[in-house]
Amino acid sequence: MSDLLWQKSGVKVDADIQGFLAGDDVILDREFMLYDIEASRAHAQGLQRIGVLTTQEADEIDAELQQLSNDFAAGDFVLDERYEDMHSAIEARLIERLGEAGKKIHTGRSRNDQVLVATRLWLRDRLRQVQALCVEVATIALERARTETIPLAGYTHLQRAMVSSTAMWWSAWAEGFIDDAQRAADTYRLVDSNPLGTAAGYGVNLALDRDHVTEVLHFGRLQVSPIGAQLSRGKFELAALEALGSAMLDLRRLAWDLSLFTSGEFAFVHLPPQYTTGSSLMPNKRNPDVIELMRASYASVAAAKSEIEHLLSLPSGYHRDLQLSKGAIFHGFGRGLKALALLPGLLRELRWNETKMAQALEPSMYATDLAIELARDGLPFRDAYREAANPERWAQRDPQASLDARVSPGGHGDLRLDTLQARLDAVRQP
């Protein structure tokens, strides 16, 4: 490992202890490295504006950081066990290439605010991805709700309940993922604040141009309080995971529907073969493994949330415990976004089996229609309810007529898809 930034003469570094302290940080930092470089370029600009760096030094540092970014992206610079973390690697590279100018880059900042800004930039990008995927899912669902009006059995307690429709099913997921897109956008605005320049958590005796750095990094606002910036670590990560988790919970329930609907017992839905796998033993099997792993993916997000919640049992100020939050957000967002990214294609290609769907409709599913009709005609509802509970009153009906009569707002007869479309348009990224 290269010389440690904090190493002092006369203090022996124990390899085992240092290995424990570093953990897998340098591996995880590969995910955040480009964001750390981006923030370092902005920091160098800020130092030049207050006279810590000359214009030539700032230009040299900026050019070298751009080259490092290119080298890292191309695989020509590898972040490995030679370095304690990405911060050390960036500074070592600048000193190696630029000498005295490189030694100035850490003026006025700490690894405390350096990691805060790198992960903050990373979270912004991930939240935009969540928002975009939720918008895409909602768009597909809304399009299919407009064009597909097939009667579909509606279930409560996994028992046949009332006649529903594919339009109602699709509109439910459209609205759910619009909500999720909105939550991702709202969370983006929460975390869109610049902590760089708060240093170790107590400010520095330099008039850092934090407003300029905030503008360069395209943050929506400055995170003012240095202590508050440290308090936000973990809290903002948790908020981002909760936004992702909202979408993943909807994905889990949608995947559950498809798990049931693709089973032989229902057989309402055909999945394209690429979304299924076979059995190593049973030649007859095609298993819906993709939707099962989609259903399972929320567990990774929940685990990440739980880990950070447990880390946050801390007083104010920086604590090394929070180093472990990087692994949590990396794994949570990694698994969650991979699952969400497969959903749009799946929803575009699934097909309904109308024959099987029609076979699932039975006379008892019109009992609620009957009760409402009796009540509408003047019978007190509780009496109408008892009358409609009599199986002798049940009869097969036209399911489409039942659906068309469902004129309560949001029901099949008044889906209000234009209202959902307006919400979707409002939450699309600019």
* Residues in a beta bridge with 426: none
Q: How far apart are CA 41 and CA 69, in angstroms?
A: 11
User: Hey, what domains does the chain have and what are their CATH numbers?
Assistant: 15-104 (1.10.275.10), 111-145+164-359 (1.20.200.10)
Query: What pLDDT does residue 125 have?
Result: 98
Q: Which of 200, 252, 275, 214 is nearest to 39 (CA)?
A: 214
Report whether 184 contacts 127 (CB < 8 A). yes
Query: What pLDDT does residue 232 have?
Result: 96
Query: What pLDDT does residue 21 have?
Result: 65
Kindly report the CA angle at 332 between 199 and 120, in degrees rounded to 5?
25
Query: What pLDDT does residue 219 have?
Result: 98
**DSSP strand pairing (221-222 vs 193-194):** parallel
Spell out the per-residue pLDDT of the chain, length 430, in tens: 556 554 556 666 666 666 666 667 778 999 999 999 999 999 999 999 999 999 999 999 999 999 999 999 999 999 988 888 899 999 999 999 999 999 999 999 999 999 999 999 999 999 999 999 999 999 999 999 999 999 999 999 999 999 999 999 999 999 999 999 999 999 999 999 999 999 999 999 999 999 999 999 999 999 999 999 999 999 999 999 999 999 999 999 999 999 999 999 999 999 988 998 888 888 888 899 999 999 999 999 999 999 999 999 999 999 988 888 899 999 999 999 999 999 999 999 999 999 999 999 999 999 999 999 999 999 999 999 999 999 999 999 999 999 999 999 999 999 999 999 999 999 996 6
pTM above 0.85, yes or no: yes
Query: What pLDDT does residue 9 have?
Result: 62
Question: Which among 218, 225, 263, 279 is annotated as catalytic?
Answer: 279
Query: What pLDDT does residue 27 have?
Result: 85
Query: What pLDDT does residue 14 have?
Result: 64
Q: How far apart are CA 46 and CA 88, in angstroms?
A: 20
Q: How far apart are CA 153 and CA 400, in angstroms?
A: 12
Report whether 289 contacts 277 (CB < 8 A). yes
279 annotated active-site:
yes
Report whether 175 contacts 169 (CB < 8 A). no
* Residues in a beta bridge with 160: 155
